[in-house]
Amino acid sequence: MTTTHPRKPVAVVTGGAGFVGSHLCDRLLAESWRVFAVDNFLTGSRDNIKHLDDNPDFVLIEQDVTQYLKVPGSVEFVYHFASPASPVDYGEYPVKTLKAGSLGTLNALGLAKNKRAGFMIASTSEVYGDPLVHPQTEGYWGNVNPVGPRGCYDEAKRFAEALTMAYLLEDKVNTHIVRIFNTYGPRMRLRDGRVVPAFASQALLGEPLTVFGNGSQTRSFCYVSDLVDGIWRLSRTEFHEPVNVGNPAEMTVRQFAEAIIKITGSRSPIISKPLPVDDPKQRRPDITRARQLLGWEPKVSLEEGLRLTIPYFRERLGRAPAAG
The answer to whether residues 265 and 319 touch, using CB atoms and an 8 Å cutoff, is no
Exactly one of 90, 93, 128, 153 is catalytic; name it: 153
Closest CA to 216 of 170, 282, 168: 282
With vertex at residue 304, the alpha carbon angle to CA 301 and CA 308, rounded to the nearest 5 degrees, is: 135
* In contact, 209 and 221? CB cutoff 8 Å: no
Distance CA(208)–CA(20), nearest Å, equals 28
* Cβ burial, residue 105 (10 Å; 0-12/13-18/19+): buried
DSSP code per residue over 158-198: HHHHHHHHHHHHHH---EEEEEE--EE-TT--TTSS-HHHH
* Buried-state track 244-269, b at ≥16 Cβ within 10 A, e below 16: bbbbbebbebbebbbbbbebbebebe
Active site annotation includes 140? no
**Which residue, among 279, 309, 124, 118, has the nearest Cα to 203 in the 3D structure?**
309
The SS3 call for residue 75 is: coil
Query: Could you give the maximum distance between any two Cα atoms of the chain, in Å?
Result: 72
Residue numbers annotated as active site: 153
